[in-house]
Amino acid sequence: MRVLVTGAAGFLGRGLIGALLDDRSGRPPVDHVLAADAVPCPVRDRRVVTRTGDIADPAFAASLFEREVDLVHHLAAVVSGEAEADFDRGLHVNVDGTRTLLDACRSLRTPPRVVFASTIAVFGGRLPDVVPPDFWPRPQSSYGAEKIIGEVLVAEYTRRGFVDGIAVRLPTVAVRPGRPNAALSSFVSGIIREPLAGIDTVCPVPLDTRLWICSPGIATANLAHAGTLAAAALDGDPLVNLPGLTVTPGEMLDALERVGGRAARARVRCEPDARVTRIVGSWAGALDPARARRLGFHVDRDVDAVIAQFVRSAAST
Protein backbone atom coordinates (compact mmCIF):
# COMPACT_ATOMS: atom_id res chain seq x y z
CA MET A 1 0.00 0.00 0.00
CA ARG A 2 1.22 3.49 -0.92
CA VAL A 3 0.28 6.27 1.50
CA LEU A 4 0.61 10.04 1.36
CA VAL A 5 0.72 11.94 4.67
CA THR A 6 0.55 15.74 4.56
CA GLY A 7 1.67 17.64 7.62
CA ALA A 8 4.06 14.73 8.09
CA ALA A 9 6.68 16.67 10.05
CA GLY A 10 4.18 17.66 12.71
CA PHE A 11 3.62 15.85 15.97
CA LEU A 12 0.55 13.91 14.80
CA GLY A 13 2.05 13.29 11.36
CA ARG A 14 5.14 11.64 12.83
CA GLY A 15 3.05 9.54 15.18
CA LEU A 16 0.68 8.49 12.41
CA ILE A 17 3.54 7.40 10.16
CA GLY A 18 4.85 5.27 13.01
CA ALA A 19 1.42 3.69 13.44
CA LEU A 20 1.05 3.05 9.71
CA LEU A 21 4.44 1.35 9.52
CA ASP A 22 3.80 -0.85 12.55
CA ASP A 23 3.87 -4.38 11.15
CA ARG A 24 2.08 -5.67 14.27
CA SER A 25 -1.05 -3.54 13.74
CA GLY A 26 -3.02 -6.09 11.72
CA ARG A 27 -3.77 -3.45 9.09
CA PRO A 28 -2.77 -3.88 5.42
CA PRO A 29 1.03 -3.51 5.21
CA VAL A 30 2.37 -0.15 4.07
CA ASP A 31 5.40 -0.38 1.80
CA HIS A 32 5.74 3.30 0.87
CA VAL A 33 4.96 6.55 2.71
CA LEU A 34 5.30 9.89 0.96
CA ALA A 35 5.80 12.35 3.84
CA ALA A 36 4.89 15.86 2.65
CA ASP A 37 5.27 19.08 4.61
CA ALA A 38 6.74 22.57 4.44
CA VAL A 39 9.79 21.21 6.29
CA PRO A 40 11.46 17.78 6.10
CA CYS A 41 9.84 14.94 8.02
CA PRO A 42 12.27 13.57 10.62
CA VAL A 43 11.03 9.96 10.46
CA ARG A 44 13.89 7.72 9.40
CA ASP A 45 12.69 4.57 7.68
CA ARG A 46 13.58 3.10 4.29
CA ARG A 47 9.87 3.12 3.41
CA VAL A 48 9.51 6.87 3.99
CA VAL A 49 10.28 9.45 1.28
CA THR A 50 10.18 13.12 2.29
CA ARG A 51 8.88 15.87 0.02
CA THR A 52 8.85 19.56 0.98
CA GLY A 53 6.67 22.30 -0.46
CA ASP A 54 3.46 24.31 -0.17
CA ILE A 55 0.42 22.04 -0.21
CA ALA A 56 -1.63 24.88 -1.75
CA ASP A 57 0.74 25.04 -4.73
CA PRO A 58 -0.92 23.04 -7.55
CA ALA A 59 2.44 22.00 -9.01
CA PHE A 60 3.68 20.66 -5.68
CA ALA A 61 0.39 18.88 -4.97
CA ALA A 62 0.40 17.30 -8.43
CA SER A 63 3.97 16.07 -7.91
CA LEU A 64 2.78 13.99 -4.96
CA PHE A 65 0.62 11.91 -7.28
CA GLU A 66 3.11 11.08 -10.00
CA ARG A 67 2.56 7.46 -8.98
CA GLU A 68 -0.68 5.88 -7.80
CA VAL A 69 -1.56 6.49 -4.13
CA ASP A 70 -3.96 4.24 -2.22
CA LEU A 71 -4.47 6.33 0.90
CA VAL A 72 -4.11 10.02 1.74
CA HIS A 73 -3.96 11.34 5.31
CA HIS A 74 -4.42 15.10 5.11
CA LEU A 75 -3.09 16.58 8.36
CA ALA A 76 -1.41 19.73 7.00
CA ALA A 77 -2.95 22.76 8.69
CA VAL A 78 -2.34 26.12 10.30
CA VAL A 79 -3.38 25.66 13.94
CA SER A 80 -6.07 27.64 15.73
CA GLY A 81 -4.05 30.46 17.27
CA GLU A 82 -2.11 31.13 14.08
CA ALA A 83 -5.26 30.96 11.94
CA GLU A 84 -6.92 33.51 14.22
CA ALA A 85 -3.89 35.81 14.08
CA ASP A 86 -3.27 35.52 10.32
CA PHE A 87 -6.56 35.18 8.44
CA ASP A 88 -5.01 34.98 4.97
CA ARG A 89 -2.47 32.30 5.92
CA GLY A 90 -5.20 30.22 7.55
CA LEU A 91 -7.29 30.35 4.37
CA HIS A 92 -4.28 29.60 2.19
CA VAL A 93 -3.22 26.44 4.01
CA ASN A 94 -6.46 25.17 5.54
CA VAL A 95 -8.84 25.90 2.66
CA ASP A 96 -6.79 26.40 -0.51
CA GLY A 97 -4.43 23.58 0.47
CA THR A 98 -7.28 21.14 1.03
CA ARG A 99 -8.95 21.93 -2.28
CA THR A 100 -5.64 21.78 -4.15
CA LEU A 101 -4.89 18.37 -2.66
CA LEU A 102 -8.34 17.03 -3.51
CA ASP A 103 -8.01 18.31 -7.07
CA ALA A 104 -4.67 16.54 -7.39
CA CYS A 105 -6.33 13.28 -6.28
CA ARG A 106 -8.50 13.42 -9.39
CA SER A 107 -5.49 12.52 -11.55
CA LEU A 108 -5.42 8.99 -10.13
CA ARG A 109 -7.02 6.05 -11.94
CA THR A 110 -8.61 4.79 -8.73
CA PRO A 111 -10.09 7.29 -6.25
CA PRO A 112 -7.94 7.10 -3.11
CA ARG A 113 -9.24 6.93 0.44
CA VAL A 114 -8.74 10.44 1.87
CA VAL A 115 -8.75 10.91 5.65
CA PHE A 116 -9.24 14.57 6.51
CA ALA A 117 -8.21 15.56 10.04
CA SER A 118 -10.89 17.96 11.26
CA THR A 119 -11.58 19.25 14.76
CA ILE A 120 -14.14 19.84 17.49
CA ALA A 121 -13.49 23.55 16.86
CA VAL A 122 -16.13 23.31 14.10
CA PHE A 123 -18.69 23.49 16.93
CA GLY A 124 -19.63 26.69 18.71
CA GLY A 125 -22.46 28.84 19.91
CA ARG A 126 -25.14 27.33 22.13
CA LEU A 127 -24.42 23.63 22.48
CA PRO A 128 -26.22 20.77 24.22
CA ASP A 129 -24.39 19.08 27.09
CA VAL A 130 -23.64 16.19 24.75
CA VAL A 131 -23.40 17.05 21.05
CA PRO A 132 -25.19 14.44 18.85
CA PRO A 133 -23.63 13.24 15.57
CA ASP A 134 -26.05 15.25 13.42
CA PHE A 135 -25.69 18.55 15.29
CA TRP A 136 -25.11 21.50 12.94
CA PRO A 137 -21.68 23.14 13.52
CA ARG A 138 -21.42 26.89 14.11
CA PRO A 139 -17.69 27.62 14.43
CA GLN A 140 -16.59 30.62 16.49
CA SER A 141 -13.02 30.81 15.14
CA SER A 142 -11.30 31.09 11.78
CA TYR A 143 -9.72 27.67 12.33
CA GLY A 144 -13.10 26.05 12.94
CA ALA A 145 -14.61 27.76 9.90
CA GLU A 146 -11.72 26.67 7.69
CA LYS A 147 -12.00 23.09 8.88
CA ILE A 148 -15.74 22.89 8.21
CA ILE A 149 -15.09 24.16 4.67
CA GLY A 150 -12.62 21.29 4.33
CA GLU A 151 -15.24 18.82 5.56
CA VAL A 152 -17.73 20.03 2.94
CA LEU A 153 -15.10 19.75 0.21
CA VAL A 154 -14.25 16.18 1.23
CA ALA A 155 -17.94 15.25 1.25
CA GLU A 156 -18.54 16.82 -2.17
CA TYR A 157 -15.47 15.26 -3.81
CA THR A 158 -16.62 11.93 -2.36
CA ARG A 159 -20.15 12.40 -3.70
CA ARG A 160 -18.74 13.08 -7.15
CA GLY A 161 -16.58 9.95 -6.97
CA PHE A 162 -13.25 11.80 -7.13
CA VAL A 163 -12.11 10.42 -3.75
CA ASP A 164 -13.31 7.99 -1.10
CA GLY A 165 -13.32 10.44 1.79
CA ILE A 166 -13.83 10.49 5.53
CA ALA A 167 -13.51 13.55 7.78
CA VAL A 168 -12.78 12.79 11.42
CA ARG A 169 -13.23 15.46 14.08
CA LEU A 170 -10.37 15.06 16.52
CA PRO A 171 -10.67 15.97 20.19
CA THR A 172 -7.97 18.17 21.70
CA VAL A 173 -4.89 15.92 21.78
CA ALA A 174 -3.12 15.82 25.14
CA VAL A 175 -0.55 15.43 26.46
CA ARG A 176 1.64 16.53 23.55
CA PRO A 177 5.42 16.26 24.05
CA GLY A 178 7.82 19.03 23.12
CA ARG A 179 7.30 22.76 23.32
CA PRO A 180 4.03 24.74 23.31
CA ASN A 181 2.65 25.57 19.86
CA ALA A 182 0.34 28.27 18.50
CA ALA A 183 -2.85 26.29 19.09
CA LEU A 184 -5.30 28.00 21.44
CA SER A 185 -5.64 24.62 23.17
CA SER A 186 -1.88 24.33 23.73
CA PHE A 187 -2.37 24.93 27.45
CA VAL A 188 -4.26 21.63 27.77
CA SER A 189 -0.94 19.82 27.35
CA GLY A 190 1.07 22.59 28.99
CA ILE A 191 -0.63 22.34 32.39
CA ILE A 192 0.63 18.75 32.61
CA ARG A 193 3.85 18.71 30.58
CA GLU A 194 5.51 21.81 32.00
CA PRO A 195 4.89 21.12 35.72
CA LEU A 196 6.20 17.57 35.37
CA ALA A 197 9.37 19.09 33.86
CA GLY A 198 9.68 21.53 36.79
CA ILE A 199 8.48 24.54 34.77
CA ASP A 200 5.88 27.05 35.91
CA THR A 201 2.94 27.56 33.56
CA VAL A 202 -0.46 29.23 33.24
CA CYS A 203 -3.99 27.93 32.78
CA PRO A 204 -5.78 30.63 30.72
CA VAL A 205 -9.34 29.32 31.14
CA PRO A 206 -11.54 28.76 34.21
CA LEU A 207 -10.85 25.47 35.95
CA ASP A 208 -14.41 24.24 35.32
CA THR A 209 -14.17 24.62 31.51
CA ARG A 210 -15.24 21.38 29.87
CA LEU A 211 -12.69 19.94 27.44
CA TRP A 212 -13.02 17.01 25.03
CA ILE A 213 -9.61 15.31 24.87
CA CYS A 214 -7.81 12.19 23.75
CA SER A 215 -4.25 10.95 24.11
CA PRO A 216 -1.73 11.01 21.24
CA GLY A 217 -1.77 7.22 21.05
CA ILE A 218 -5.54 7.09 20.65
CA ALA A 219 -5.48 9.97 18.14
CA THR A 220 -2.98 8.24 15.84
CA ALA A 221 -4.68 4.85 16.22
CA ASN A 222 -8.03 6.38 15.26
CA LEU A 223 -6.55 8.22 12.27
CA ALA A 224 -5.00 4.97 11.06
CA HIS A 225 -8.30 3.13 11.61
CA ALA A 226 -10.15 5.74 9.53
CA GLY A 227 -7.97 4.79 6.59
CA THR A 228 -9.16 1.17 6.71
CA LEU A 229 -12.93 1.64 7.14
CA ALA A 230 -15.04 0.34 4.29
CA ALA A 231 -17.01 3.10 2.56
CA ALA A 232 -20.20 1.09 3.05
CA ALA A 233 -19.74 1.26 6.84
CA LEU A 234 -20.13 5.04 6.69
CA ASP A 235 -23.60 4.68 5.13
CA GLY A 236 -23.23 7.82 3.05
CA ASP A 237 -22.10 10.05 5.94
CA PRO A 238 -18.35 10.73 5.77
CA LEU A 239 -18.22 12.92 8.93
CA VAL A 240 -17.30 11.19 12.20
CA ASN A 241 -17.01 12.75 15.67
CA LEU A 242 -14.16 10.80 17.26
CA PRO A 243 -14.53 9.57 20.85
CA GLY A 244 -12.91 11.46 23.69
CA LEU A 245 -13.00 12.16 27.40
CA THR A 246 -14.78 15.08 29.03
CA VAL A 247 -12.45 16.63 31.60
CA THR A 248 -11.94 20.06 33.13
CA PRO A 249 -8.59 21.73 33.78
CA GLY A 250 -9.37 21.30 37.48
CA GLU A 251 -9.73 17.53 37.02
CA MET A 252 -6.52 17.44 35.01
CA LEU A 253 -4.69 19.24 37.81
CA ASP A 254 -6.09 16.74 40.33
CA ALA A 255 -4.62 13.98 38.16
CA LEU A 256 -1.35 15.90 37.88
CA GLU A 257 -1.12 16.01 41.67
CA ARG A 258 -1.68 12.26 41.86
CA VAL A 259 1.27 11.73 39.51
CA GLY A 260 3.62 14.58 40.38
CA GLY A 261 2.57 15.60 43.87
CA ARG A 262 1.55 18.97 45.27
CA ALA A 263 4.74 20.62 44.08
CA ALA A 264 3.83 19.89 40.44
CA ARG A 265 0.32 21.24 40.84
CA ALA A 266 1.64 24.38 42.53
CA ARG A 267 3.56 25.19 39.34
CA VAL A 268 0.26 25.96 37.57
CA ARG A 269 -1.30 29.34 38.21
CA CYS A 270 -4.69 30.44 36.90
CA GLU A 271 -4.69 33.62 34.81
CA PRO A 272 -7.85 33.68 32.67
CA ASP A 273 -7.36 35.06 29.17
CA ALA A 274 -10.65 36.40 27.77
CA ARG A 275 -9.72 35.64 24.14
CA VAL A 276 -8.68 32.05 24.78
CA THR A 277 -11.63 31.46 27.10
CA ARG A 278 -14.10 32.79 24.53
CA ILE A 279 -12.88 30.52 21.73
CA VAL A 280 -11.95 27.36 23.66
CA GLY A 281 -15.10 27.73 25.75
CA SER A 282 -17.18 27.65 22.55
CA TRP A 283 -15.92 24.17 21.64
CA ALA A 284 -17.91 21.07 22.43
CA GLY A 285 -17.20 19.64 25.86
CA ALA A 286 -18.75 16.24 25.09
CA LEU A 287 -19.82 14.48 21.90
CA ASP A 288 -22.01 11.41 21.56
CA PRO A 289 -19.46 8.67 20.72
CA ALA A 290 -21.95 5.91 19.87
CA ARG A 291 -21.55 5.98 16.09
CA ALA A 292 -17.76 6.24 16.27
CA ARG A 293 -17.58 3.34 18.70
CA ARG A 294 -19.78 1.22 16.40
CA LEU A 295 -17.32 2.01 13.61
CA GLY A 296 -14.47 0.65 15.72
CA PHE A 297 -12.82 3.85 16.94
CA HIS A 298 -11.12 3.81 20.34
CA VAL A 299 -11.26 5.94 23.49
CA ASP A 300 -8.93 6.46 26.45
CA ARG A 301 -9.90 4.90 29.77
CA ASP A 302 -9.63 8.05 31.88
CA VAL A 303 -7.52 11.17 32.40
CA ASP A 304 -5.04 9.28 34.60
CA ALA A 305 -4.39 6.91 31.69
CA VAL A 306 -3.83 9.88 29.37
CA ILE A 307 -1.20 11.34 31.71
CA ALA A 308 0.38 7.93 32.28
CA GLN A 309 0.80 7.54 28.52
CA PHE A 310 2.67 10.85 28.41
CA VAL A 311 4.91 9.89 31.33
CA ARG A 312 5.81 6.56 29.69
CA SER A 313 6.50 8.27 26.38
CA ALA A 314 8.68 10.92 27.99
CA ALA A 315 10.65 8.29 29.89
CA SER A 316 11.37 6.35 26.69
CA THR A 317 12.83 9.33 24.79
Give the sign of the dihedral formed by CA 312, CA 313, CA 316, CA 317.
Answer: negative
User: Looking at this protein, which amino acid is placed at residue 240?
Assistant: V
Of residues 77, 114, 109, the one with CA closest to residue 96: 77
CA distance 249 to 233: 36
**CB-CB contact of 91 with 56 (8 Å):** no
Return the closest-CA partner of residue 115 out of 173, 71, 57, 69.
71
Taking every pair of Cα atoms in the chain, the longest distance, rounded to a whole number of angstroms, is 59
Annotated catalytic residue, options 60, 65, 143, 283: 143
Residue 85 has phi, psi (to 5 degrees) of -80, -30
**How far apart (Å, rounded) are the C-alpha atoms in residues 258 and 261?**
6
Residue 157 catalytic?
no
Residues carrying an active site annotation: 143
